[in-house]
Amino acid sequence: MKKMLFIMNPCAGQKRANRSLSDILLEFSQAGYEVNIHMTTGRGDAVTAAQRWGRDVDLVVCCGGDGTLNETITGLLRAGAETPIGYIPAGTTNDFASSLSLSGNVVQAARDIVEGEPVTYDVGRFGDRYFSYVASFGAFTKSSYVVPQNIKNALGHTAYVLGGISELSQIRKEHIRMEIDDQVVEDDFLFGAICNSTSIGGILTLDPKHVDMADGLFEILLVRSAQNLAEIADCIQAVQSQKYNCEMITFRSARSVKIYADPEMPWTLDGEKEDGHGEIMVENLHHAIRLMQRKKDA
């Protein structure tokens, strides 16, 4: 019998996966899996579980939000495990799942995993940490970890939008120097994202034509401080049209980025807080994970 490690965050999202847990497990049992269940009890718990047991099973399934997926991937990478990953998106925004069009129905997502096949994707390495879809700083990035979990559960995606709006009065420009492959970009920025996703915080979206989550490249989006109202208008139009050709926006693709910034400036990795760094290296780990996805002709 095939073995599965099922890692679930019972507090994710609006706890909707909890109500369907028996149906999810039935899908796995009917597919011939012996399921070992691990319910997370706090931050870092999924990392420990995946790192400890991820090498000894045929499949690791993560049920939770982007943060739980981040921890599961981190644990497997630290263990040097090449075990395929199944993802049941049950969080508040599920940016990673949105980029891959994974089912929002948790039972269907479980069915897609057992009927699917592994597809390779890139992962980012931020110093000694990993991220599956985004490392960001500046405006709107704090709302993902500042908004309490019970508010996220009650308001869902609205909580992120309200959290982002509440940050407006606290936005400050950050002086950043980035060595993007062989190019240098330096300026005062309001927001920056190094991403491998079409959705960032459920607020900002990138044109899917610019994003390939398995090409060995990041997409880098930087928004500098505006000098006048005309620049703000141009920036808004560029973001809405997904054509990043205005003076306020820098848009690049790169395999690696070396960043010099204020060591007190916090970052967000897949919605989780990361302390500031005066100097940090960010690298794309090409084809680092294998994610189970429904066959395209299914």
Q: Is the pLDDT of residue 148 over 50?
A: no
Least confident stretch, 14-23, 69-78, 225-234: 225-234
DSSP code string of 21-34: HHHHHHHHHHTTEE
What's the CA gap between 39 and 62, in Å, rounded? Answer: 10
What's the CA gap between 245 and 252, in Å, rounded? Answer: 11
Across 108-113, average pLDDT? 97
Residue written as token pair 């994707």: 121
Give the dihedral sign, CA 148/97/103/63: negative
Least confident stretch, 28-42, 114-128, 157-171: 157-171
Q: Which two tokens stand for residue 228?
A: 């006048």
What's the CA gap between 201 and 141, in Å, rounded? Answer: 8
Amino acid 270: pLDDT: 87
Amino acid 109: pLDDT: 96
Q: Which two tokens stand for residue 237?
A: 């139009």
Q: Mean pLDDT, the chain, as a whole number?
A: 84
Across 268-285, average pLDDT? 92
What's the CA gap between 114 and 86, in Å, rounded? Answer: 8
Amino acid 142: pLDDT: 52
How many residues are present in the chain? Answer: 298
More confident residue, 38 or 202: 38
Q: Is the pLDDT of residue 150 over 70?
A: no
